[in-house]
């Protein structure tokens, strides 16, 4: 390698390169999933967008395709395991491989016991097993099914990146979110760790992102309410809520070989909350 080639290897375009690689993003029609799909497709990756909301999915698909992105999309609920696996299998067959999968789809499961406006609606006495089951099906079993759809090809390839969207609420107690949400997100963190250990010998990396309060449509758009945003912002060391585009960097990091020696990690993107 001569000095000029060496220099090329230190450039961001090389280190974070995802050109021509293929990725699946669940929950891609809004918020964090949209941001993930956006940065991957803008950097010349092929992306399969999956979401249960057909009209938002079409809008995101059309926007990314109009910007020159190589995207395809399928409407699917991640709790429909058979359909989910079929769509991912079709994409893998067409693309002859898979660089990574972002298991990101999730819902909030209602307010926590300490909403920012003072109403207590989600206390321990109000917990309802049926609501917990729904949340487990989407936020945990949907993640497991997504991982299962990708792990076979990744083991065959001897490489691949599985990225789970966890939450700061899976690490520390958080009164803004529901009991079920916090409990399930802590399971996502442990799921990531277990899978990282199993899959490390195969060259398959498994990591998770722990977003803080990011202004998306989750939780009935409560994070867009200015009073709620202001009260929550006061609890963030950086003094404000995050934007979905502030996940672009971590997405490229985990999708590319820049993270080739990272597995079993939880990466907070939270304005400093977990440092408190
Ligand atoms: N926004 C935050 O502050 C925050 C913080 C921590 C973690 N998260 C996590 O980030 C992930 C993305 O959430 P977001 O904030 O972008 O919310 P969002 O509501 O803006 O987007 C979530 C997307 O997932 C889709 N979805 C929901 N259930 C689905 C299902 N069963 N099958 C397929 N698609 C489904 C929705 O249609 C939507 O397009 C979630 O796992 C959420 O728990 C968000």
For the chain, give the secondary structure using H, E and C. CCHHHHHHHCCHHHHCCCCCCEEEEECCCCHHHHHHHHHHHHCCCEEEEEECCHHHHHHHHHHHHHCCCEEEEEECCCCCHHHHHHHHHHHHHHHCCCCEEEECCCCCCCECCCCCCCCCCCCHHHCCHHHHHHHHHHHHHHHHHHHHHHHHHHHHHCCEEEEEECCHHHCCCCCCECHHHHHHHHHHHHHHHHHHHHHHHHCEEEEEEEECCECCCCHHHHHHCHHHHHHHHCCCCCCCCECHHHHHHHHHHHHCHHHCCCCCCEEEECCCHHHC
What does the pLDDT look like over 169-226, one tens digit per residue? Answer: 999 999 999 999 999 999 999 999 999 999 999 999 999 999 999 999 999 999 999 9
Q: Considering the domain boundaries, does residue 5 fall inside one?
A: no
The answer as to whether 11 is a domain residue is no
**Cβ distance 192 to 266 under 8 Å?**
yes
Residue 15 CA to ligand 1 center (angstroms) comes to 29
Tell me if 254 is assigned to some domain. yes
Give residue 208 CA to ligand 1 midpoint distance, Å: 14
Residue 72 lies in a domain: yes
Read off the pLDDT band of 144 (50, 70, 90). Answer: very high
23 Cβ partners below 8 Å, 6+ apart?
Answer: 40, 45, 46, 47, 48, 98, 99, 100, 101, 102, 255
**How far is the CA of 131 from the CAs of 46, 108, 193, in angstroms?**
36, 11, 26
C-alpha to C-alpha distance for 115 and 232, rounded to whole angstroms? 10
CB atoms within 10 A of CB 117: 11
Q: Quick one: which of 266, 238, 114, 254 has its CA closest to 176?
A: 114
* Predicted confidence (pLDDT) per residue in 19-74, tens digit: 999 999 999 999 999 999 999 999 999 999 999 999 999 999 999 999 999 999 99
Ligand 1 geometric centre to CA of 231 (Å):
22
**pLDDT of amino acid 115:** 61
pLDDT of residue 39: 98
Q: What is the average per-residue pLDDT within 235-263?
A: 98
152 pLDDT more than 80 = yes
Best residue among 218, 232, 246 to mutate for probing ligand 1's pocket (most ligand atoms within 8 Å of CB) is 218
Ligand 1 residue neighbourhood (C-beta within 6 Å): 26-27, 29-33, 51-53, 56, 77-79, 104-107, 138, 142, 165, 167, 211, 213-214, 216-218
Q: Per the domain annotation, does 160 fall within a domain? A: yes
Overall number of domains in the chain: 1
- Domain of residue 187, CATH code: 3.40.50.720
Q: State the Cα–Cα distance between residues 104 and 204, nearest whole angstrom.
A: 18
Residue 75, φ and ψ in degrees, nearest 5: -80, 120
- Is 37 a member of any domain? yes
Please tell me the predicted confidence (pLDDT) of residue 1.
56
Query: Atom 25 in ligand 1: which residue has the minimum CA distance?
Result: 27
Q: Which domain holds residue 59?
A: 18-275
What's the rounded Cα separation, in Å, for the pair 149 and 201? Answer: 19
Residue nearest to atom 36 of ligand 1 (CA): 27
Residue 264 lies in a domain: yes
Per the CB < 8 A criterion, the answer to whether 51 and 28 are in contact is yes
Question: So what's the pLDDT on residue 14?
Answer: 96
Does 127 reside within a domain?
Answer: yes
């Amino acid at each position: 390698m001569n000095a000029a080639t060496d220099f090329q290897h230190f450039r961001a375009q090389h280190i974070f390169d995802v050109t021509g690689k293929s990725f699946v993003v669940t929950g891609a029609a809004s918020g964090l999933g949209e941001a993930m799909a956006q940065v991957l497709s803008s950097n010349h990756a092929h992306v399969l967008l999956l979401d249960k909301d057909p009209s938002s999915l079409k809008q995101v698909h059309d926007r990314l395709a109009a910007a020159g992105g190589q995207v395809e999309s399928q409407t699917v609920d991640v709790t429909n395991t058979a359909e989910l696996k079929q769509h991912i299998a079709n994409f893998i067959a067409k693309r002859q491989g898979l660089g990574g999968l972002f298991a990101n789809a999730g819902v909030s499961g209602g307010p926590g016991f300490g909403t920012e406006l003072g109403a207590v609606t989600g206390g321990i006495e109000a917990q309802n097993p049926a609501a917990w089951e729904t949340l487990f099906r989407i936020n945990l079993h949907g993640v497991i099914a997504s991982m299962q759809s990708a792990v076979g090809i990744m083991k065959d390839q001897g490489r691949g990146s599985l990225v789970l969207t966890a939450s700061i609420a899976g690490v520390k107690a958080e009164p803004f979110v529901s009991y079920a949400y916090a409990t399930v997100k802590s399971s996502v963190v442990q799921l990531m760790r277990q899978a990282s250990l199993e899959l490390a010998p195969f060259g398959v990396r498994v990591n998770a992102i722990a977003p803080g309060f990011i202004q998306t449509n989750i939780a009935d758009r409560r994070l867009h309410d200015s009073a709620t945003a202001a009260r929550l912002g006061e609890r963030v060391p950086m003094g404000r809520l995050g934007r979905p585009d502030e996940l672009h960097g971590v997405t490229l990091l985990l999708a590319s070989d820049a993270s080739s020696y990272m597995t079993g990690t939880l990466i907070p993107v939270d304005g400093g909350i977990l440092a408190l």
